[in-house]
Amino acid sequence: MRILLFSLIFLALIALPLACGQTENLQGHALYDEHCANCHMEGGEGLRQLIPPLAGADFLRDNPAAVVRGIRKGMAGPLVVNSITYNQPMPGNKELSEFQIVNIVNYINQAWGNDYGRISVEEARTWLQE
Ligand code: HEC
């Protein structure tokens, strides 16, 4: 009996963080599909010369602050992604909270083979205030 109890606690301790990570990822994924995929596509491939890709994008990898600010405030002007210049405005999204922006960025940073690390809410808050 005691062994059973211990193994249950042990399992819960392992399963809990895994489950949380997954929920967060699921939320980022759902928010991405709702707010971003109509332009950047579900697979993050973008649209020809009009919309830059997110999958394998060096801009996303190298400019986390500009990405966070761009999601809230929009982006305009020429922007180079993987040596291709894009120049269409991206509208800002004022509906998304800091947490939601962080979840979306942490989703696209790890989706489609990207391995661009994670950002924290504190970082996002600082970048949004700059
Ligand atoms: C109406 C279409 C549209 C929507 C919706 C949109 N974007 Fe964009 N996005 C663009 C365009 C166009 C650019 C290029 C902006 C420029 O040229 O200055 C861009 C640029 C970017 C970039 C930087 C370039 C790159 O490919 O790394 C990122 C990151 C990005 N968008 C993420 C997002 C995320 C995340 C969302 C959802 C919250 C989103 N976008 C919603 C059109 C859109």
pLDDT 10s digits, 22-34: 555 899 999 999 9
Q: Ligand 1 mean position to 122 CA, how many Å?
A: 22
Q: How far apart are CA 70 and CA 92, in angstroms?
A: 6
Please name which of 21, 27, 25, 35 lies closest in space to residue 96, comparing C-alpha atoms: 35
Q: Which of 27, 40, 79, 105 to mutate to test the pocket of ligand 1 (most atoms within 8 A of CB)?
A: 40
The proportion of the chain whose per-residue pLDDT surpasses 70, expressed as a percent, equals 85
Other CB atoms within 10 Å distance of the CB of residue 75: 17
Whether 112 lines ligand 1, by a CB cut-off of 6 Å, is no
The ligand 1 atom nearest the CA atom of 71: 38
- Nearest alpha carbon, ligand 1 atom 6: 36
| pLDDT tens per residue across span 65-91 | 999 999 999 999 999 999 999 999 999
Please name which of 18, 82, 78, 73 lies closest in space to residue 44, comparing C-alpha atoms: 82
Q: Ligand 1 mean position to 38 CA, how many Å?
A: 10
8: pLDDT strictly greater than 70: no
Average pLDDT over residues 92-104: 97
